[in-house]
Amino acid sequence: MTRKVKNQDLNRLTVEKYRKVSKSPIIVVLDNIRSMHNVGAIFRTSDAFRVQKIYLCGITATPPHRDIRKTALGAEESVEWEYTETTQLALDMLQDCHICALEQVVDSVPLREVSLPKDKTIVLIVGNEVDGVDDTVIARCDQVIEIPQFGTKHSFNVSVSAGITLWEIFNKINE
């Protein structure tokens, strides 16, 4: 009979050990995310895929905050993060990386078809829940990724989008 795995069977890292293990060559940039619950959820997903760092930009809230912690479940303590006043400032620090925005644009690449360099850190920019990734930020990207959708809605929640995309990027760079 199948049984659920117990927490003690999962061999989870402590925050101290997590900080010392090697990270995936992935950086996440949050471009003016309004919801602290989305911020927390992205921290939690970033922890799962050992993201190197999260940049919290513009109006994006920063830890510590109980609404971030509610969905992050402590991942805001394990994942390295930095606040920058604008997303442009964060990108200025990431010039040697392969920069990708997650957005619906005319020339976007469907997520499954994305080709990523093996020798560069991948930056994933996710944008504001209403306005998406700012146009001036998109202009600085090497690639714009879109998650194909087949229902009546044309967008996912930003934290869901980040999770889907991080899973695909993680798999592609670890092939």
First vs last C-alpha separation in the chain = 33
Q: Number of structural domains, the chain?
A: 1
Q: What is the CATH number of the domain that holds 131?
A: 3.40.1280.10
- Report yes or no: 140 and 99 within 8 Å, Cβ to Cβ: yes
3-class state of residue 110 by DSSP: strand
pLDDT recorded at residue 6 = 87
- Is 162 a residue whose pLDDT tops 90? yes
pLDDT recorded at residue 136 = 98
pLDDT, tens only, 2-19: 889 988 888 899 999 999
Q: What does pTM read for this prediction?
A: 0.96
Residue 7 lies in a domain: no
Residue 3 lies in a domain: no
The average confidence (pLDDT) of the chain is 96
Q: 141 is written with which tokens?
A: 């990207």
pLDDT recorded at residue 22 = 96
- Number of helices (H), then strands (E), in the chain: 7, 7
pLDDT recorded at residue 124 = 98
Residue 26 lies in a domain: yes
Structural domain boundaries enclosing 137: 13-173
From residue 157, alpha-carbon distances to 52, 67, 164 in Å are 23, 17, 11
Residue 8 lies in a domain: no
Residue 132 lies in a domain: yes
Residue 2 lies in a domain: no
pLDDT, tens only, 83-141: 999 999 999 999 999 999 999 999 999 999 999 999 999 999 999 999 999 999 999 99
pLDDT recorded at residue 160 = 98
64 preceded by cis ω (within 30°)?
A: yes
**Burial state string for 62-77 with b = 16 or more CB within 10 A and e = fewer than 16:** ebeeeebbebbeebbb
Residue 1 lies in a domain: no
Q: 23 is written with which tokens?
A: 């990270």
Question: Which H or E run includes 160?
Answer: helix 158-173
**Which amino acid is residue 166, in one-letter code?**
L
